[in-house]
Amino acid sequence: MARLFRTRSEKKTSLWDRVVRLALTDVRVAVGGMDTETLESLEERLLAADFGVQATLRLVDRVEDLARRGKVRGREGLRGALKEELAAILRPSSEAFLSAADQGPTVYLICGVNGVGKTTSIAKLAHRLRREGQSVIMAAADTFRAGAAEQLSIWAQRVGASFVGGQRGGDPAAVAFDAIGAALSREVDVVLVDTAGRLHTHKNLMEELQKVDRVVRKKLEGAPHECLIVLDATLGQNARAQVEAFSRAVSLTGIILAKLDSTARGGIVVSLQEEFGLPVKLVGTGEGLEDLEVFDPDAFLRGVFEEG
C-alpha cells in the first residue's frame, strides 16, 4: 500500500512552486547574492531563515573552508558548495517514503502538541490514501479535548474513511486498540491514529502517549509502521524542544511539517534534519484537503537555488 508515496516523480510541480514561492522566500534571500564579501553575513542570513545553529555552523564552516583552500571561486562556486552541503543534510529525506505493512493493516501514529495541525494533516493524508483506492480508518485517540472526536469524524465522512472513537475522557489506548481490531476484521488498509495534543512538558500525557504506542505494538506486530510528529513550521526553533520531548516518549520515524505555507522561513526543514536526523516526510501547504505534499529534497534545493 501507500503506493502513492513511491511515485514522487509523477507528482504535480505546481504545488511545489507554491511552496517555493511561499515558504522559501527568506531561504532564497539567504543563499542569493552570495559572494566572498557576503560570506560573513551568510551565517546571519541562514539563522534568520530558521536553519538553526547546528546546520548553519556546518554550512558556513564547509563553505568557508572550501573558499579558504581556493577550491571554490566566485559566486557560482560558493553557491554550488552550499548546495552540495545542503543536499548532504537532506539526503535521508530522499528515501523518506512512508513505510507500509507487507500484509494486513498499516498503522500510523500521529502525535504533536496542540494546534500544530495533527487532525488536519490526518484528514489530508486519509484523502490522498482514499484517492489511491485505500480503505482508511481514522481513530480518535484524542479523548481529551471536547469536540476533537467530532472534528475527526466530520473529516472522515468528507473523505470517505471509517471512524472509530471512544467515550469523552475515555482511554485513548483503547480507541487505538479497537481501531486496529476493526481494521483486522474488516480488512481495512490503513489506520490513522489521531492523538491528543499535549504540552511536551506534561508528564502524564506523555505517559498516556507511550501507553497508546505500547498497546498498538501489542495488538499488531510491526505496528506502528510510522510514528510521525506534526510540527508547525511557523514555530521555527520551538519545534526542537517538541521533537526532543516526544523522542523521549516514542520512537519517532519522521515529521509532518504543517503550515509551510504560512512561513517564509523554510530553513526549519534543514535544521530538523541536521539536528535529529529525522526525515521531513510530508509538508502541509494550506488548510484544504489537497494541501499536502510529499517532501522532495531535490525540489527544495531547486527552489532555493533557482534565480528568481
C-alpha cell at 172: 485513548
Select from ligand GDP, Mg ion, none the partner in contact with residue 43, using the beta carbon and a kind-dependent cut-off of 5 to 8 Å: none
In whole angstroms, the minimum distance from the beta carbon of 185 to ligand GDP comes to: 28
Which grid coordinates belong to 112? 504533536
Told to check if 288 binds ligand GDP by CB under 6 A, we report: no
Contact window for ligand GDP (CB under 6 A) among 71-79, 176-184, 259-267, 273-281: 259-267
Residue 213 interaction partner, one of Mg ion, ligand GDP, none, beta carbon < 5-8 Å per kind: none
Is 208 a binder of ligand GDP (CB under 6 A)? no
Cell of 36: 566572498
**Least distance in Å: CB of 69 to Mg ion?**
51
Residue 65 vs residues 36, 71, 86, 188: alpha-carbon distances, Å = 12, 9, 15, 54
Q: Is 286 in the site for ligand GDP (CB under 6 A)?
A: yes
Interaction between residue 114 and ligand GDP (CB under 6 A): yes
Closest CA to 127 of 159, 163, 162, 164: 159
150 lies in the site for ligand GDP, by CB under 6 A: no
Asked if 258 and 292 touch (Cβ cutoff 8 Å), the reply is: no
- 153 lies in the binding site for ligand GDP (CB under 6 A): no
Segment 91-120, which members bind Mg ion (CB under 5 A)?
118-119
Question: Which residue in the block uniquely carries the three cell numbers 489506520?
Answer: 191
Query: Which of 260, 262, 253, 300 lies closest to 281, judged by CA?
Result: 253
Q: Which helix (H) or strand (E) holds 136?
A: strand 136-141
> Is residue 195 close enough to count as binding Mg ion by CB under 5 A?
no
Query: What does the alpha-carbon distance between residue 112 and residue 104 come to, in Å, rounded to a whole number?
Result: 26
Residue of minimal CB distance from ligand GDP? 284
Q: Can you give the binding site for ligand GDP, defined by CB under 6 A?
A: 112, 114-120, 197, 230, 258-259, 261-262, 284-287, 291
